[in-house]
Structure formats: C-alpha cells, structure tokens
Amino acid sequence: MNNIKTLFLLVTLTLILIWAGAAMGGKQGMTIAFIFALGMNLFAYWFSDKIVLKMYRAKEVTESEAPDLYRIVRRLAQKAEIPMPRVYLINQDQPNAFATGRNPQHAAVAVTTGIMRILSQEELQGVIGHELSHVKHRDILISTIAATIAGAISFLAQMAQWTLLFGGHRGDDDEGGSPIAAIIMMIVGPIAALIVQMAISRSREYAADEGGAKIAGNPRYLSEALKKLNMASQKIPMNANPATSHMFIVNPLSGGGIVKLFSTHPPIEERIARLESMSL
C-alpha cells in the first residue's frame, strides 16, 4: 500500500511540474521543465550521497575504529540481503542517523556520535534496521527524485516571477503560456509540491519503520530508540540544512507550530504506536 501511495504521489508531483511548465511557457515551457527536472535528477542520482556526507563532515570508519557499530551494520545487512554499506560517523551531539546512496550497491549509513552515546545495542539495531530498510527499498533515490522535482517547480516559479516582471508573457498558450496561470502557479505550485513531497517522505518513513523492525528482529528496539531520539532532538540543537532534514531518522530541526505542520516526518507518537502494535 505504501509503494502504491508513493507512486501516486510521484506521478502527482510530476503533473504539477508539467502544469508549472505549461503555465510559464506553454508547450515549450513543459519541454524545458522536463529537461530541467531530468538534468537535476541525473545529477542527484550520481552525486547526492557525496554531497550530503561532505555537508555534515561525515568520516568513514573501519571495523577497527567502530567495531560495535560495524558489527551491527554488517549483521543486519546480511539479514536484509543487501551489500555491506559504507559506515560513517558524524561528530554531532544530537543523536541521529541517515542512509544515503543511489542503490544498495552504493549505499552508506551515517550515525552521529551522540546516538552512539545514548542508545543501547538493541536500540541501535532498531535504528540501523530502519536505515537499511530505506536502502533496500531505494527510498533515498525516491526522496531525491521528489526533492529535485519540487526544486524544479520552485525554480520555475521564480522564473515566472521575473518573466512577468519584465513582460515576457505574450498571452499565447502555445508560445508563452498564460499570465494568469503563471501567477497562480507562482503561488500554488511550490506549496502543492512541498505538500506532496512531505507526503512521500512520511509514507516512506512508516514503511522503513515497519521494514526496519523486521530486519532488527524486534519492533520495540526501534520504538524505544525513537522515544530517546525524540526527547534528545528537542534538547540538543543540530546545525542541519533544511533541504536534507528528511533524510534523518528523526527531524534534526526543532520547533513547533508551523514548523511541525510542514515537517517531513510523521508524528513520533504515531510511529511509536504503530511499532508497538506490531509487538502485540
């Protein structure tokens, strides 16, 4: 069901991109939007893992440098029937983790030094299982595609703003798009894309929780870990880029109100309740 929902949301996001391109430049605008999105997706497919690891100054570690972590990742990767991913440590006090890589053959799992301090071995297994579930089901690629299409829509909205400002629209739907449609797109397009992108992210988080619990062998490992991570993330700040916050197992950005409303993560309470229901 989650896979069907994700496919539907990706199609919806693509249709928004097509509409945005048409609103800005008619048929020519749709073509430009497709080419732009394709280029962004290809770049993200090949280089997103290197960029995000470098962004957080993640250091690749060997088995001798982090034996317990390495042992857990290797054992769970074997259980998940995927290749052993590269293992990274991030020197951050906030306990958190993420996986990246375009496919299971080029995957990496990164954890913060903070998570190594507060979680038990069983809870760490739950977290690693969650991240390996993302890897196994290629969620990193799915979220990257969603992010790049959403970025393309935002870029088109900015272009439409400058085009209208300098009188670039000619009023012909086949040649230059509609000025009224362009104005609507400038306002509605980025918001709609953000909402769909968040829905995709939340759907994949639920699926990774379920898959990770099965890989780790006990749903309570992850549910107990999420309780600790949720409390710690609210107390310990992390200098995280909002564009990458969806990658972490819990949202590294603290805040309430409108921030929570537009969170890329499902409510922790709901995630924990679902995991605990698996134990019954």
Specify the amino acid at residue 157. A
**Among the listed residues 117, 111, 122, the one whose alpha carbon sits nearest the alpha carbon of residue 221:** 122
How far is the C-alpha of 223 from the C-alpha of 209, rounded, in Å? 9
> Which residue, 200, 180, 177, is CA-closest to 188?
180
205 labelled catalytic: no
H-assigned helices in 112-250: 113-118, 121-136, 139-165, 179-216, 219-235
What the block records as the tokens of 90 is 């991030």
> The tokens of 185 are what?
């797109």
Give the span between the Cα atoms of 43 and 175, in whole angstroms: 29
Q: Other CB atoms closer than 10 Å to residue 178's CB: what's the count? A: 18
**Cα–Cα nearest to 103, from 60, 76, 141:** 141
- Distances from the Cα of 92 to the Cα of 33, 105, 258, angstroms: 38, 27, 26
Q: For residues 226 and 126, what is the distance between their CA atoms, to the nearest angstrom?
A: 9
Tokens 């549910």 label which residue?
A: 223
Choose, from 63, 123, 131, 224, the residue flagged as catalytic.
Answer: 131
Closest C-alpha to 46, from 173, 174, 148, 180: 148
Q: Would you please indicate which residues are annotated as catalytic (active-site) residues?
A: 131
